[in-house]
Amino acid sequence: MTTEPDAKLIEQGRKLFAGDFHFIWASPSIETLPPMAGVEIAFAGRSNVGKSSLINALTGRNALARTSSTPGRTQELIFFDGPAQAGLRLVDMPGYGYAAASKAKVASWTTLIHKYLEGRSNLARVYVLIDARHGLKDVDLDVLKTLDRSAVSYQVVLTKADQIKKSELEGRITDVRTSLATHPAAFPEVLATSSEKSEGIPELRAAMVRLLEERR
Ligand SMILES: Nc1nc2c(ncn2[C@@H]2O[C@H](COP(=O)(O)OP(=O)(O)OP(=O)(O)O)[C@@H](O)[C@H]2O)c(=O)[nH]1
Ligand SMILES: [Mg+2]
């Protein structure tokens, strides 16, 4: 399903995310981003896909990022800093493709998302979250195109893996991998996660440790 990260990286990931992660900044617009510092990793995806929940699962905190069962919860770019020596910053993004919000709001979020993904030089990785039940949609493909254009490395992470059967999940992973073959900036591997059941969380932490090591 995914390449097995070694035990050492998993342990380093556990330690890194056992440290203190805290809110530092919220940006409603591209003009109000915080000064760049450290390695930034962003979580993008359709509204309600589970971005904020994944950040909470990674950091082991129930309410670091605000979650909600109704879409459109996160309305700004929310920045969280990790332990001081780690130099890691996580960014919870507003969701895209939320049909029930006003046209003006959707347009403003979409512009913010694309502008941020295009032009942030310390943005080291974007995790593009896809609901394991639904797979890639057109709005996701628009975001992948922006990431390909800006050459930001990204990886697809399936969420809510607890909601479908193992066999179905395997099929979904294969489908997404096939679609990613035509995207130059995409990681070929697809990670399956469940924030509810903590599945795939140690592996995702390990992937971020590896990225930090590469950036040092
Ligand atoms: N079963 C299950 N539900 C999940 C999982 N992750 C998130 N959810 C649920 O999905 C809903 C949306 O989660 P959020 O984390 O708020 O989603 P988001 O992507 O941040 O949403 P916006 O900020 O509105 O774009 C909540 O009701 C979560 O409890 C998961 O792994 N499994
Ligand atoms: Mg959110």
Query: What are the DSSP E strand ranges found in the chain?
Result: 22-27, 39-45, 77-81, 88-92, 123-131, 154-159, 191-192
Cβ atoms of 58 and 80 within 8 Å: the answer is no
- The answer on pLDDT for 129 being more than 90 is yes
Cα–Cα distance measured from residue 81 to residue 20, given in angstroms and rounded to the nearest whole number: 8
Question: Tokens 């510092």, residue?
Answer: 37
| Residue 1 pLDDT | 45
CA of 180 to the centre of ligand 1 (A): 24
Higher pLDDT, 131 or 216: 131
Q: Can you tell me the distance from the alpha carbon of 109 to that of 95, in angstroms, rounded to the nearest whole number?
A: 8
Per-residue pLDDT tens over the stretch 38-49? 999 999 999 999
- Binding-site residues, ligand 1, Cβ < 6 A: 45, 47-53, 67-69, 71-74, 94-95, 159-160, 162-163, 194-196
Q: Domain ranges in the chain?
A: 7-215
Provide the CATH topology of domain 7-215. Rossmann fold (3.40.50)
Would you place residue 210 in the very low, low, confident or very high pLDDT band (cuts 50, 70, 90)?
Answer: very high
pLDDT, residue 102, reads 81
Instruction: Kindly report, residue by residue over 148-194, the tens digit of the pLDDT.
Output: 999 899 999 999 999 999 999 999 999 999 999 999 899 999 999 99
Which residue has its alpha carbon closest to ligand 1 atom 27? 69
The ligand placed nearest to the CA atom of residue 69 is 1
- Confidence check: pLDDT of 97 > 80: yes
User: Of the given ranges (22-31, 90-99, 160-169), which has the lowest mean pLDDT?
Assistant: 90-99
Question: So what's the pLDDT on residue 108?
Answer: 87
> What is the predicted pLDDT for the residue at 106?
84
Record the pTM.
Answer: 0.96
Q: Distance between CA atoms of 156 and 188, rounded to whole angstroms?
A: 9
Look at residue 3 in the predicted model and tell me its pLDDT.
52
Distance of alpha carbon 106 from alpha carbon 4, whole angstroms = 38
Amino acid found at 204? L
**C-alpha pair distances (Å), 60 with each of 101, 136, 162:** 30, 28, 18
